Amino acid sequence: MDDEQKKISLPEIIIMVMIVGGADLFDVFVGLAAAVPVIGQILLFGNWFVDIFVLAIVQFWLIMKGGIGFRKQATVLVGNLAEMIPFLDILPIRTAALLVAIYMINHPGITEAVKTIK
């Protein structure tokens, strides 16, 4: 499939992966800094706001792309909600879920083939 036919272009993918990847890196930093008595607790509290902010950005971006079904929205939503579980957020679940959703959006024939296999 050519780049012109893909719903999500490469610059959009790079920008969204930078936003989500940056949030995941912040999660790792917060997870490591959680052992520090006062600063770690403040960062843990602030991390929830970062998670909610990134969740809102990603969901709004997917909605604005238009024509993206519930399954792709739910994939990213589950990844973002898994990041809100303390100490599980060190894993890059949100970034992996975003990349899977982008792949499903840009390659609809593969996702349709998977549906028919079930």
pLDDT in tens, 22-58: 999 998 898 888 888 899 889 988 988 998 999 899 8
The pTM score is 0.79
pLDDT band of residue 115 (cuts 50, 70, 90) is low
Taking residues 91-114, what's their average pLDDT? Answer: 83
12-21 contacts: CB < 8 A, separation 24 or more? 13/102, 16/58, 16/61, 16/98, 16/102, 17/95, 17/98, 17/99, 19/54, 19/57, 19/58, 20/54, 20/58, 20/94, 20/95, 20/98, 21/92, 21/95
CA distance 115 to 107: 13
pLDDT in tens, 49-90: 998 999 899 888 888 886 667 777 788 888 888 887 877 778
Please determine, for residue 14, whether its predicted confidence score (pLDDT) is greater than 90: yes
The secondary structure element, H or E, covering residue 69 is none
